[in-house]
Amino acid sequence: MVGRCAFCDLCSSNATHANWSFFTIEKFGWSELEIGLSLSFVGVMVAIVQGGLVGPIVKKIGETNAVYTGFAFNAFGLLMMGIVSQSWMVYAVIVPYAFGGLAGPSLQSIMTNQIPKNAQGELQGGLTSVMTLTAIVGPLLMTGIFRYYTNPVNDIYFPGAPFVMGTFLAILAIFIVSRSLPRSSS
């Protein structure tokens, strides 16, 4: 079950990874420089969260709560990205979206602590397999959704559709994790 949770979460991230350039060009007419600057900002925010804030936050709220909090921030950030109407809003949304980075390390720590030491390699291999699968499925799914909802022959024009789909996948991850993880993990 937790593997499915990770799959949903990683696929939801592909809304951003696979469509960032397409989305920002389509929605805001951004140049390569503007795209690069925005991705740099994403990188800085992710580095701040994962490099400096995950540890103190997990220590304060516990691993399980960090998983839920990360997935909730991921869902919120993706939803907001899907509906932004001004280019400056993208930067405002990146800040909470970066806090989605609480989920992955916390979830991996919980899984690592639930299996014997002699099975750690199998766990890491399984997680790598899930990541590889989402790196194949996610971009195909998300760019297909983007193409469909930006195609002029369709009745609905909505370049943010992949982000909304990512929101649903992040919410599905929350549901799966709620059925898989004990609430007392910390």
pLDDT score, position 15: 66
Read off the pLDDT of each residue in 118-130 and give the average, rounded to a whole number: 76
The predicted model scores a pTM of 0.86
> ∠ at Cα 41 (31, 167), nearest 5°?
90
The CATH number, out of the four listed (1.20.1250.20, 3.40.50.620, 1.10.10.10, 3.40.50.510), of the domain defined by the range 2-110+121-180: 1.20.1250.20
Q: Give per-residue pLDDT as tens, 83-106.
A: 999 999 999 999 999 999 998 888
What is the distance between the alpha carbons of residues 83 and 159, in angstroms, rounded to a whole number?
Answer: 9
Top pLDDT among 52 and 183 is at 52
Q: Give per-residue pLDDT as tens, 65-81.
A: 999 999 999 999 999 99
- The position carrying tokens 């991996």 is 108
**Please, which residues have CB within 8 angstroms of residue 81's CB and are 6 or more apart in sequence?**
15, 16, 90, 93, 97, 160, 163
- Retrieve residue 28's tokens: 């805001």
Q: Give per-residue pLDDT as tens, 44-57.
A: 999 999 999 999 99
CB 97 within 8 A of CB 167: no
Domain boundaries in the chain?
Answer: 2-110+121-180
